[in-house]
Structure 1
């Protein structure tokens, strides 16, 4: 280890995921122009995991040797970063590479300046370190060569640009996140949180991950096969807090028998006014919206290995026949 290098083996921490006698190191790199939620979302998930007793130690790193600061795309500055060349990682550790300003990815000077870091990243992967990207962080992974011949995803807005620049990578459009052995790529922004929760589940089990999701008030966790354009985030491009409250209630209570009267009372409106306002605001009726939520949630549960009967029960449906009818109506080509 280099003089002054940071090592996860320090501090005599308890036995962890990476190797006996020390916690797993979770390194969150900050490229210039980093997107805030891409880095802070996953980092907070692992912070909560550590608070709940997970053997993990987090650190924020810089992409450049000798540089201990970075400025985000929102101009928020970060200090006390550990330069990548001072990080001593081992098999089982993890590196998160967040998204950054798209204009930088088109700049040859930036890509050349990132070369030493990208070579370091390849070396970490060879050691058995898990590498994760969020949003346009996938461009840096592809630039390093780590994605050659593999599948990945990225933010939908940059998919065409990615495909043109890296034809040797199999880009899977509209996927929340993709796993290729020890490499994970995610679509961006909130999907970084989904990926972090997925990793927590892999490392420490589903019950522990559910505790962390509850702590950060994420009641619905999405998986790798879920689309970027989920119904759980569609129909929400509006500013009416009352309708958002109804949408939250429906998404979090699929197994309950809620009436329009129940929903209207929760936001101090009449059932008639709520029905009218919901359709005007979202361009879809409450009934159709609820059906779409149930269909997507049921498909996820079945995909996770639950029976059709169990999925129907979790979605507040009376029978498997009712669920099958819904699935046919919403998923079969018309």
Structure 2
């Protein structure tokens, strides 16, 4: 591979107070891609017009190249990672970084692929690039983002959104999913799967997946007993369980557990267990497990029971069951 004449260039912006995983995750996947023969050159940019060192989370990052030393085109990708929320919340943030924002708008007009991770969407939005465009950001900032950028078409509960040459992703680790998504676009699914395996990513998430796994949802409460029940269900999907045994596990009556679980999570114990089983089954089937094995791993009696559950919750079946 001739790295002096790369087919693609991947630029990773390193703004002050950058979220480390937001840029390191995608950067590592693109580095790994070069080891597998992808004709890509990876570069790291300062948000200022000078070479500088950036400190974030107590770590100093140096040897950054000034952003205005480059002009990007259709074969270039620019990853814009998230940063600490208080920074872009400060009045005058856009004005203070106006030269970079103008440069960013020029690169977009040149056809460069602009890829925001987490709150990096704010920087793209300050440039007006999301006006009239579909996009997403971290779920905690959805309301604030929509209020500040009402012309954007913000999509909630979406992991990855692509609109033309604009990409946006949800929070933190979704930058890894976005990088795999783009690598698949550039080099195909077989190549992207090799990279996922190389970095030990067992479950690849796509643009149709929600931001939060059901294993993380319904946990925004402070009741430790209900957290214990949720932990037990998630860790013991293959075991048969009932309300009486769950209640005994947390020293409650079945009636009290049912009432409290619904109160703090918004759904019943049974509905929550079904959601866990559906997500786990889809994961296993996507990874190549047989239907019978997936059924047993999810605590179901038969393949037909799994099929009924998937119909109920996803309204679709794996391709091998269709027709």
Instruction: Give the Cα–Cα distance (whole angstroms) in 2 for the partners of residues 169 and 151 of structure 1.
Output: 7
Over the aligned positions, Cα root-mean-square deviation in angstroms equals 3.8
| Correspondence 1:100 to 2:90 | no
- Which residue, out of 203, 210, 214, partners 2:186? 203
Per the alignment, residue 196 of structure 2 pairs with 213
- Which residue, out of 96, 103, 116, partners 1:113? 96
| Correspondence 1:181 to 2:171 | no
Alignment of 1:68-147 (within 5 A): 68-72=52-56, 74-147=57-130
* Deviation string, structure 1 residues 120-166 (Cα, Å, up to 9, x no partner): 11111122210000111101111101111111101111111111110
Partner SS state of residue 28, structure 2:
helix
For residue 97 of structure 1, report the CA deviation from its aligned partner: 0.1
**Contact 1:135 1:154 survives alignment (8 Å):** yes
* Deviation string, structure 1 residues 56-102 (Cα, Å, up to 9, x no partner): 11111011111422122x13111000010112333211000000111
Per the alignment, residue 40 of structure 1 pairs with 24
For residue 296 of structure 1, report the CA deviation from its aligned partner: 3.1
**Contact 2:181 2:206 survives alignment (8 Å):** yes
Instruction: Give the Cα–Cα distance (whole angstroms) in 1 for the partners of residues 31 and 277 of structure 2.
Output: 32
**Contact 2:203 2:283 survives alignment (8 Å):** no
Structure 2 CA distance for partners of 1:276 and 1:71, relative to 1, 3 Å: same
State the TM-score, normalized to the length of structure 2.
Answer: 0.74
Instruction: Give the Cα–Cα distance (whole angstroms) in 1 for the partners of residues 235 and 50 of structure 2.
Output: 46
- Which residue, out of 159, 168, 171, partners 2:154? 171
Instruction: Give the Cα–Cα distance (whole angstroms) in 2 for the partners of residues 31 and 314 of structure 1.
Output: 47
Structure 2 CA distance for partners of 1:51 and 1:312, relative to 1, 3 Å: same
Instruction: Give the Cα–Cα distance (whole angstroms) in 2 for the partners of residues 208 and 146 of structure 1.
Output: 30
| Correspondence 1:29 to 2:13 | yes
Q: How many aligned residue pairs are there? A: 284
For residue 119 of structure 1, report the CA deviation from its aligned partner: 1.1
Unaligned runs of 5+ in 2: 251-256, 316-323
State the TM-score, normalized to the length of structure 1.
Answer: 0.72
**Contact 2:116 2:167 survives alignment (8 Å):** yes
Instruction: Give the Cα–Cα distance (whole angstroms) in 1 for the partners of residues 307 and 12 of structure 2.
Output: 43
**Contact 1:294 1:315 survives alignment (8 Å):** no
| Correspondence 1:13 to 2:9 | no
Unaligned runs of 5+ in 1: 1-10, 15-20, 251-257, 261-271, 305-309
**Contact 1:152 1:185 survives alignment (8 Å):** yes
**Contact 2:183 2:192 survives alignment (8 Å):** yes
